[in-house]
Structure formats: structure tokens, C-alpha cells
Amino acid sequence: MSWRIFILATFMCLFTAGAAAAELVVITNPKTGISSMTREEVVNIFLGRFRQFPSGLSAQPADLPAAQPEKALFYRLLVNKDLAEINSYWARLIFSGRTVPPRQTLNNEDLLSFIGKTPGAIGYVEKTKVDSRVKVVLDLAE
């Protein structure tokens, strides 16, 4: 019986360490001219409430695919919703014709490439994946 507890405890430690290691940041194209954003501003852009940055530049949000664990973590950290709730939210908005969801990218590299090439683009990645193509405007760990 004690080996089962040991295996369960080991699994829980590994799972917790993996979840804690993923620190997400919101990134934009450096040409956007924005040095930082509030959580509320990011929420409004990613939930389709606003399609402009505070500066007036058109915002082009980009999402990772649902298979990427960062997507679920992003929406959990940003608005405390799981992907089923987010998908339901977007289904209602699309049906009503009010707005369109963020652009879907293929993976982290595709997202970084899109943001690096597109003024007005905004997305999210693990902090360790940030490179010179993008600018961090919000750290979701803070």
C-alpha cells in the first residue's frame, strides 16, 4: 500500500512542478509602440470587446490551438474560465455576428512569427519563449 502512496505523491509533485513552471506573458509586436498593458485591456481585446489598443492602433489578437496547454492556462489566468466556457462565449458572439475570435495559430513558433511580422498583433507565450521579435506588455504571473 505504501508504494501506491509514493507513486501518487511523486505524480502530484511532478504535475504541480510542471504547472508552476509555465509562466505566461502577453506579447505584442514591438512596432505597436506600447510598453505595457493592464489585465483589463488584454481581457477586452481577447474577448472581442475592443479591437484597438489604447493608442488607437488596430489590435490583432492571436491564440494558440486548444491542444497547447498554454491556451487553457492563459484563459484561466486571464479571466478564470476554462476552454469550454471560452468556446461557448465565442460561439454566442459568432452566432450573433458581433465579432470574430482571435486568429488561430498552429503553435508557439507560428504565433511568435505572426506577432513579429504584424504591427498590432498581440498574443501570449511562456516567458522562456520570448525573443527579440516580440515585446512583453503584461506578465500574468504578477
> How many domains are there within the chain?
1
What count of Cα atoms within 13 Å lies in the side-chain half-sphere of residue 71? 21
Mind giving me the DSSP string for 28-90? E-GGG--S---HHHHHHHHTTS--B-TTSPBPEEEE--TTSHHHHHHHHHHHS--HHHHHHHH
Q: Which cell goes with 116?
A: 513579429
The parent domain of residue 119 ranges over 23-139
Is 4 part of a structural domain of the chain? no
Is 10 part of a structural domain of the chain? no
Mind giving me the DSSP string for 75-130? HHHHHS--HHHHHHHHHHHHHHTS--PPEEPSSHHHHHHHHHH-TTEEEEEEGGG-
Is 18 part of a structural domain of the chain? no
Is 7 part of a structural domain of the chain? no
The tens-digit pLDDT sequence of the chain (142 residues) is: 444 444 444 444 444 434 445 799 999 999 998 999 999 999 999 999 998 998 889 999 999 999 999 999 999 999 999 999 999 999 998 888 878 899 999 999 999 999 999 999 999 999 999 999 999 999 998 6
SS3 category, 2? helix
Q: What is the pTM of this model?
A: 0.82
| Residue 142: predicted pLDDT | 63
Q: Which cell goes with 46?
A: 481577447
Is 75 part of a structural domain of the chain? yes
Is 98 part of a structural domain of the chain? yes
Is 9 part of a structural domain of the chain? no
Is 69 part of a structural domain of the chain? yes
| Amino acid at the residue 134 | V
Sheet of 121-126: strands edge to edge? 103-104, 60-63, 121-126, 24-28, 135-139
| Residue 56: predicted pLDDT | 87
| Amino acid at the residue 111 | L
CATH code (residue 74): 3.40.190.10
